[in-house]
Chain A
Amino acid sequence: MLRFLVRRVLGAIVILLLISAVTYFLFFALPADPAALSCGKNCNPQTLALIRKNLGLDEPVPVQYWQYMIGIFLGRNMTIGHCSAPCFGYSFASQQPVWSTLMNRYPTTVTLAAMGALIFLVIGVGLGLISAARQGTAFDKIASAVSLTGQSVQIYFIGPLAIYLFADTLGWLSRGHDPDWTHDPVGSITGMILPAMVMSVIFWSNYSRQTRSLMVEQLSEDHVRTARAKGMTSRYVFMRYALRGAMGPIITIFGMDLSSVFGGAIITEYTFGLHGLGQLAVSAVTQTDLPLEMGVMLFGAAAIVIANIIVDACYAVIDPRIRLS
């Protein structure tokens, strides 16, 4: 297990380094002048020269990248002042260190993504399990219709409708607000219910369909039939034998979906006016705040890669064959 984890972590580090390099070079090495880009529409030569100096744009791009990476691991001295260890530079717009902005914003996105994932796993897998147990019944058909519709709606369509219906008209749920885990843990959860529910809808169908077909497949396996023949109850066979076989592929699908979950979180944050990483990315782009964009990109990529390792580790725990290969 340890060897497996070490191998995965090393691979992840390589991937992250490559992503950072590609992103950096795309941002800063394209013929478009990043200084002019960050300067915006009302730009004068003084600010342009200042930005160029602050960014170190007089250096060749590989040197700039090297300094950037040194900054992330060791910290670096910048024109604004010293920037300690995880240094992603300073935001053009707010002059704040990028790292502290990221630290302020990430709890919202993580809470939203985690709650959303929990909800869609419970609902999706649950619908799939019941459909598999009651194949061909009305429930099966309704569940597949519901999840098909869920897959086809868009967060930016149902989000405002959900706020209008559940928050403004019925008043059942909060319109959604940023979590504050240290001061208000209960409010952090209740404030996220509506956004997380809305985000989860688009993921239901994939999981319910996959779970259903995997369970149907598992239920016709020999070991399941043997278990039935030994006289075990159907419920026990269903939950202990068939479900365990179906879990592995579902976890793999979940790992592949993490990036989409993050993408869904961006649109959900924007729709519900939450201040997370997605909303930060959008505002960084509209303000052409390059260091902030770069920081969010890398942070997001790292989060997805780390989450993927955790998912792989879970898979290895459930299915020992993975560890040995």
Chain B
Amino acid sequence: MSSSTQATAGNDQIPEGPSADTAAVPLEIIGRSPRQLAWLRFKRDRTGVICAGIVGAFILIAIFAPLICALYGKNPYTLYGQNDNLLNSYGMPIKPNGGIDSNHWFGIEPGLGRDIFALLMYGIRTSLGISLCVTILSVALGVLVGLIQGYVGRKTDYFLGRLTDLMMSFPQQLFFIAFTPVVIALFVKPTEQEPTYIRFFALVLVQFFLGWMSVSRLVRSQVLSLREREFVEAAQLTGASTWRIVSKELLPNIGSTILVQTTLLLPVNVTTEAGLSYLGVGMQDPTPDWGLMFQKAAEYYQSDITYMFFPGIAMLIFVVAFNLLGDSVRDALDPKTIR
């Protein structure tokens, strides 16, 4: 991969940096922390910087969706197509290419006639919000379980390890599909109308339940090797408390693993959440959601294929950018890994 060659090239350049500096300013060697070195390596990786920009743009869209849509002058709930007679008698946009014009940049939705641009902005907000919660919770629990397993060891390690195995052998997708309604039924009686935040909460909970194991396994294996290292033994000898050893000696050393895992998990969670909504068990209309857009678009792809491209290409860009960013972050943090 090109990014790996760039990263190794970047790695080779690192030792030259200080020597060039010492040539300019004699008798002074600039010390850099590993974090600064990683940041320098990352800044040299053009793919990584561009992808970080794209990912940042998506996060900004998620945060400022209402502001963007207010500036754009549309909202994702109004049925513009029906109100302004932009749909024909079959519910299809009258204008070509899905009704794209200066008023509706990405066209209008067939059937209901909502504005696709506004739907997409709000949809990204919903999907990214859910996935971000899932990712943060999963990583937090994964790190906790992994630390306990690795540091306490013995029977605790064994039982938590078997628990992880058990959780990993659940058919994930089936589990998500089956238990989202069960969790919702926990809070809402079947006869009542459920509030949207309950569904949000249920989706987070269900995905989080089966989302933490990969992180805990990685953290466990890292902690197992770290706790045999001299600096941890030294800390133990000097009488440092467990909390101090964990927070000052172990956590900083697995920080890069956690960061890389987070960047890898988030796009997976986004696509899983969108997949659930697509299957009809995630978010429900009229809440705008990335996955629901695919469901709607799949209904109309034969007569209006344009609709499919907006959520589809947006998601493609998002996932590609995130994956490449994950690679760059890994290269920057740990230049030794050769893929």
Known pairs A39-B190, A157-B294; A281 contacts B275 (CB<8 A): no
Which of chain B's residues have a CB closer than 8 A to the CB of A324?
A: none
A304 and B323 contacting across the interface, CB-CB below 8 Å: no
Which of chain A's residues have a CB closer than 8 A to the CB of B173?
A: 259, 262-263, 266-267, 278
Complex: A61 Cα to B316 Cα, angstroms: 46
Task: Check: B96 CB closer than 8 A to any chain A CB.
Answer: no
B278 and A156 contacting across the interface, CB-CB below 8 Å: yes
Complex: A135 Cα to B174 Cα, angstroms: 40
B279 and A266 contacting across the interface, CB-CB below 8 Å: yes
Q: How far is the CB of A305 from chain B (nearest CB, A)?
A: 6
Complex: A293 Cα to B280 Cα, angstroms: 15
B182 and A32 contacting across the interface, CB-CB below 8 Å: yes
Which of chain B's residues have a CB closer than 8 A to the CB of A153?
A: 312, 316, 319
A15 and B298 contacting across the interface, CB-CB below 8 Å: no
Task: Check: A70 CB closer than 8 A to any chain B CB.
Answer: no
Which of chain B's residues have a CB closer than 8 A to the CB of A282?
A: 177, 279-281
Task: Check: A297 CB closer than 8 A to any chain B CB.
Answer: yes
Q: Which of B286-312 contact A (CB under 8 A)?
A: 291, 294-295, 297-298, 301-302, 305, 308, 311-312
B190 and A36 contacting across the interface, CB-CB below 8 Å: yes
B277 (CB) vs chain A CBs: closest residue? A156
B214 (CB) vs chain A CBs: closest residue? A256
Complex: A27 Cα to B178 Cα, angstroms: 9
A152 and B172 contacting across the interface, CB-CB below 8 Å: no
Chain A contact residues, majority secondary structure: helix
Interface residue stretch chosen among B110-118, B162-170, B226-234: B162-170
Complex: A29 Cα to B254 Cα, angstroms: 39
Task: Check: B189 CB closer than 8 A to any chain A CB.
Answer: yes
Complex: A301 Cα to B170 Cα, angstroms: 6
Q: Mark A32-67, 1 if CB is under 8 A from B, else 0.
A: 100011011101000000000000000000000000
Q: How far is the CB of B4 from chain A (nearest CB, A)?
A: 9
Task: Check: B320 CB closer than 8 A to any chain A CB.
Answer: yes
A30 and B186 contacting across the interface, CB-CB below 8 Å: yes
A19 and B170 contacting across the interface, CB-CB below 8 Å: yes
B280 and A259 contacting across the interface, CB-CB below 8 Å: no
B182 and A26 contacting across the interface, CB-CB below 8 Å: yes
Partner of B323, one of A151, A263, A266: A151
Task: Check: B2 CB closer than 8 A to any chain A CB.
Answer: yes
Task: Check: B175 CB closer than 8 A to any chain A CB.
Answer: yes
Known pairs A19-B170, A267-B278, A296-B174; A164 contacts B302 (CB<8 A): yes
Partner of B190, one of A43, A144, A148, A159: A43
Other A-B pairs beyond A40-B190, A300-B171, 14, CB < 8 Å: A15-B166, A26-B182, A27-B182, A37-B185, A144-B1, A144-B2, A154-B275, A154-B312, A160-B297, A160-B298, A209-B339, A266-B177, A270-B279, A288-B181
Q: List 15 A-B contacts (CB under 8 A).
A: A27-B182, A30-B186, A32-B182, A37-B185, A152-B319, A154-B294, A159-B298, A160-B298, A263-B174, A266-B174, A267-B173, A281-B174, A282-B280, A285-B181, A301-B169
* Interface of B toward A, CB cutoff 8 Å: 1-2, 165-166, 168-175, 177-182, 185-186, 189-191, 267, 271, 274-275, 278-281, 291, 294-295, 297-298, 301-302, 305, 308, 311-312, 315-316, 319-320, 323-324, 338-339
